[in-house]
Structure 1
Amino acid sequence: MECSYLNARLFKASSAMHGLEDASFDNLVYKLRDVFRLFGRYPPDLPLSGNLTPPWQALYRLLSRERQKGLIAFFGYCDQQNLLPTEVKQKVLDDFVTWTAEKTLHRDPVGRGRRAASNWEWARQHIESWPDIPLVRSGMREEYTLPFTAYPSSFQDDVEAFLDRYACRTKEEIFPDKVTDPTYKSFRSRRRPLSPRSVETRRYQIRQAAAALVAEGVPIESITNLNDLVQPVERVRTILLFHRSRVEERQRRQEELEQPAGAEVLVPSSNARSTFQDIRTSNLAGIGEALRQIAQFHCCVSEDDLALMKEWISQIKPPQQTSMTEKNTNRLRAFLDTQIYPQIIHYPASLMHRSSASELKPQAAARLALYAVAFEILTVCPLRRGNLAGLRLKQHVRRAKPDGPITHLHLRAEEVKNRKAIDWPLPPESVELIQRYLDQHRCHLAEPGNLFLFPGKGQRGRSGHDLGVGLTERFERDIGVSFNTHAMRHLAVVRFLIKHPGKYEIVRRILGHSRVETTLAFYSGPEMDRAIALLADVIRNDRREFGPPALSPPKKPRTKRGDN
């Protein structure tokens, strides 16, 4: 009988994944609220706009309809707490998110707080009479990291100089004066520059490291260059411990959220997983690796300090993944279910058909068609999410002649993670679906001059994250099983192997793996499921063919003396 307990379970999956229609699920949640009210365990409803006190009503009237929607719940909460607009502060927003998560049934408490903060900040910057009180978006990275502009300019310059070497943006990196410099050799040993996305990842890891020192009491004005992150070497340990503690705290909160209210906390056994020593994540390892490279190649620290850093990083680096994760394996098995798989392969056509409904507004129909095309490409050409979102007309969507039909997708080697070009012919039904989207729907989503297949605002395309979230939410709601875009790569490969067992070399080329052993390690498991099923079929057919042997009457069991 705790809202936090139900929130962690009710809204973790879509309505369809609970076996319910959206309306039935919403009705269930509505009735659950009534049950909580009967037991006196649900707070009073927040006041609506017409019931706000005058100070809050005055602010509310300054907003557009959409921004009113984003702030009405926060306004009602503050008003219910007898706060004035000038008394709002960061803790009030954090308390609002906690109250939503623990005292109410709500799908996304953190998102509710984030929307409130975003709309509040917009109003603070655009409405002169708005209270000049900043609110940070609850649950986002900016809660502890600081923008680079908060640090001395010398630190900012040093960061850019370091990242320029990663990207090989300077003429010295392309046309060096000498190649005997060990730092040059180390940086150039990768034989190619890092991709822009990888450079941005390194940039943010540096930002995370610097923020950890500031949070642990190092004066921000004393961080004047990258050497101040790694010297003295104890600072590296301070950074890693700070971020490791954050991971531990997140895990602890998640466990508490999933623990039934009032349940006895069991003492872990001696062989249970420890809470701190075994915390190893790729994010922690990435921060550590960024610091090691700064220390070794940019600051040239001593060998002893470098060895110490490597030892610390080894304690936070997760084991190398050599096979498909259990989560992806379970997701893939759900995809291969005889009732689910047909829905998946016909899903793009189903979405496109739904886009033709007369009651839909043009933009709503266009969004359905956009997702139909995205799913179709994932189904017949298993691209990574970033490449899918970045597809451009003419550049990637190719035709044999300007006015001819679409023939294939083409991505240059430098655009692909494994640096292997993609030149993928498209089947006629895929071409027809894409062309229908281009002819009838894309114009309702793209501004003039936008060349992205999946356009965003202005001249940009949709981000990989936004496209992935949209695809996941729609798929899970309609199909009723867990989804992510990368799972479609797994599905395509496994279905191929089921039809063509042992053809790992072809799969290796499709996925761009450098070694066939990698392909074998990741995809032999699902293929083995099929092999075991075939073996069961062989045994079943043999039993039918040969029939059971003649059975003699069962013998009467012997009894021992004294038995009754």
Structure 2
Amino acid sequence: MYVDQYSIIKKPMTLGDVVTRLEAKTDLSTTKRRDLVSAVRTAARLLHRSPEDLPASVEDLRNRLADIHPVQASISLKRLANVKSGLVAAIEMTVTTCRIRKRQRPRSPAWATLVQSTPQKWQAYTLSRFSHFCSSQGIEPTDVSDDVLVRFEEHLSKEVLTKKPEKIVKITRQTWNGLAERVHPELPALTKPPSRRVLTRDLSTYPASFQADIEAWIARLETVDFLEDDGPAKALRPTSLRNVRACLRQFADALVKSGVKPDELLGLSDLVDPETVKRGLRYLRERDGGNRPSHHTIMAQLIAVARYHVRVSGDIEKVLKSIQAKVSVAYDGMTDKNRNRLGQFRDERNIDLLLDLPRHLVSKAGKVKDAGRNQALMVMHAVAIDILLACPMRIGNLSSLSIDQHLTWRGEGREQRVAIAIPGSEVKNRQPITIDLSVETSKLLDRYIHSWRPKLEGSSGNALFTQTNGNARTPSRFGQDISRTIKRETGIVMNAHLFRHLAALLFLDKHPGEYETVRRLLGHKNLNTTTKFYAPFETWRATERYETEVLQVRRAVK
């Protein structure tokens, strides 16, 4: 007899099934049943799906819900937490394959003593979840092992809707090992897993002749010799020199990892042989899963070395350029990543959230009694964001602003304004940056300098955005801090460089086609660069105008 195999395949449970089972349960009070069903339906609504389309899996739903931000979802943080908690409870009650989570047991005496003995509150907070898990499993502090941490991660992954279980485990391990090393030597240390970062070999592991050749090339790039016919027209900045060194180091490392012995690399000439170049690029492409922009950058450096330092023949240079063309990643204007992130601002509510963020941060910091370093940092980020909104400069210029060198106060009283002037020699494209900040932004900046900046260590120096040692904040770290602040407060995902694109978007929205103004605002040397990057914005607005002016008329006729 024929049996339809598809009819006997058990379909995975969905949240729709969870709702159906909840409504059929007779051992729940009316209020409890209503709250759990509401949590399931609300979670589905936040994901813009129906309950029948979503799997009844905590592990799957965690990834889907991880990007839900309360501000973007127009929901309070507490309500979102309650929805997630109710969703997990609903799944546990209705999915037979899900282990029922026991009510959180009190810590065992040994765990309670350990947590209470931590020198810092954050250490107690970090170990809280782990201590309860171990207590529920009958595991005492002296019995903790790598296997226990693995089980803890499995518990977080399959039964809890917490974000990034692997990060919680990492912090738990670090906190535990710190206590074991400095406070409780009787505790067993946990094994630190190997780093996932791609680490390159240090240049000191190569022959001295190879190291000397790299330094000779760097020296050629950092000085201008007017007697040298094909020498550089201008000296490279320190950041550019670091990038050159990094490219050469990365490629040498790729060759070693592909099987070349380090002592076989005696000079830069060994890097630019066409067959050697192909070998290194094959390794990089296999490691990175295809071509990456960094591969093209490495090839550009190798070609420069081949032409001006090794002085290869014209035929070999042509071969190298041919290889470079095959690994290039063409971008016709803006990258997809930046274009997608700018899409957030098609929602005017996100524009309002970002524009109001500096004031929101200052207000939030001012409400804290006995405000200290954390609140001062919050105001620092508010000032940085306000400056980027007014003048979308690169993060390197923003982080290195000096009170004495770059800021000037003009006017008096309520109309006093701050002017920012950065010479072209400090800007990537050599175009000077000059702007008079608005009165409102000037007041915020002045308030930060006089009332909040003194709460930070290192404030005696001239750096506007100071580190504890008094130096200016590093561009990469400062940029990350700004991005995290924006994401935490608004749910908007953006980096400091996106402010430049956003400025163009907002201006062209009000003044279509005025690319010359955008070119001047962003300091582009070539108008074609501006047009190539920002012409697609006109398509966005054209579509919206068509929707408003044409389709609305058609609907009105109906």
Q: What TM-score range do you get, normalising by the shorter chain?
A: 0.7 to 0.9
One-letter amino acid of the structure 1 residue matched with residue 225 of structure 2:
F
Q: Which amino acid aligns with 1:175?
A: D
TM-score (norm 2): 0.72
* Deviation digits for residues 117-160 of structure 1 (CA, Å, limit 9, x no counterpart): 87799899999989999957633233xx2223333443333322
Q: How does 1:270-281 map to 2 (within 5 A)?
A: 279-281=290-292
Distance between the aligned counterparts of 1:513 and 1:349, measured in 2?
A: 30
Rate the CA distance shift 1:507–1:29 in 2: closer, same or farther, 3 A.
Answer: same
For residue 418 of structure 1, report the CA deviation from its aligned partner. 1.4
Partner of 2:448: 437
Cα gap change, 1:66/1:286 in structure 2, threshold over 3 Å: closer, same or farther? Answer: farther
Q: Is 1:390 matched with 2:390? A: no
Secondary structure, aligned partner of 2:267:
coil
Letter in 1 for 2:495: N
Question: In the alignment, what sits opposite 2:422?
Answer: 411
Partner of 1:399: 409
The count of residues paired between Structure 1 and Structure 2 equals: 496
Could you tell me which residue of structure 1 aligns to residue 380 of structure 2?
370
User: Are residue 354 (structure 1) and residue 396 (structure 2) matched?
Assistant: no
Query: 2: distance between equivalents of 1:324 and 1:48?
Result: 54
Q: Find the residue that maps to 1:420 and give its secondary structure.
A: coil
Structure ranking higher in helix proportion: 2
Q: Does the CA-based 8 Å contact 1:348-1:372 persist in structure 2?
A: yes
Which whole-Å CA distance do the structure 1 matches of 2:63 and 2:217 have between them? 43
Gaps (5+ residues) in structure 2?
Answer: 1-55
Find 1:207's aligned residue among 235, 244, 249: 249
Indicate conservation of the 8 Å contact 1:366/1:444, yes or no. Answer: yes
1:425-467 Cα offsets, whole Å, 9 max, x none, are 1111110111111111111124243322222231233332333
User: Which amino acid is 1:375 matched to?
Assistant: I
3-state DSSP of counterpart to 1:410: strand
Q: How does 1:74-153 map to 2 (within 5 A)?
A: 106-108=162-164, 111=167, 135=192, 138-142=195-199, 145-153=200-208
Partner of 2:280: 239
Structure 1 residue 380 corresponds to structure 2 residue 390:
yes
Q: Name the CA distance, whole Å, in 2 between partners of 1:51 and 1:219.
A: 57
CA distance in 1 between counterparts of 2:550 and 2:73 reads: 36
Show the counterpart of 2:65: 10
- Structure 1 residues without counterparts, runs of 5 or longer: 169-173, 249-278, 552-564
Q: 267, 270, 280: which one pairs with 1:228? A: 270
Please tell me the residue identity of whatever aligns with 1:238: R
Cα 1:340/1:375, change in 2 over 3 Å: same
Counterparts in 2 of 1:540 and 1:112: CA distance versus 1, 3 Å:
closer
What letter corresponds to residue 107 of structure 1 in structure 2?
A: K
C-alpha deviation, 1:408, in angstroms:
0.8
Higher RCO (C-alpha 8 Å, min separation 6): 1
Counterpart of 1:139, as a letter, is: R
Would you say the 8 A contact 1:16–1:477 is kept in 2? no
* Closer/same/farther in 2, CA of residues 61 and 299 from structure 1, 3 Å limit: farther
How is 1:151-230 mapped onto 2 (pairs within 5 angstroms)? 151-168=206-223, 174-175=224-225, 178-180=227-229, 185=230, 187-188=231-232, 191-230=233-272
Paired residues of 1:285 and 1:317 also in contact (CA < 8 A): yes
Q: Name the counterpart of 1:285.
A: 296
User: Which amino acid is 1:151 matched to?
Assistant: Y
Aligned partner of residue 349 in structure 2, secondary structure = coil
**Partners in 2 of 1:33 and 1:312 — Cα distance?**
53
Identical-residue share of aligned pairs (%): 26
| 1:322 and 1:518 in contact (8 A); partners too | no
How far residue 75 of structure 1 moved from its aligned partner, in angstroms, is 11
**Residue number in structure 1 paired with 2:78:** 23
Q: TM-score, normalised by structure 1?
A: 0.71
Structure 2 residue 528 is the aligned partner of structure 1 residue 517: yes
RMSD (Å), alpha carbons: 4.7
2: CA distance, partners of 1:71 / 1:154: 51
After superposition, give the CA deviation of every residue in 1:293-319 in whole Å (9 maximum; x if it has no partner): 333333334444433332222222111
2:484 to 473, 481, 486: 473
CA, structure 1 residues 133+37, in 2 after alignment: closer, same or farther (shift >3 Å)? closer
2:354 corresponds to 1:344: yes
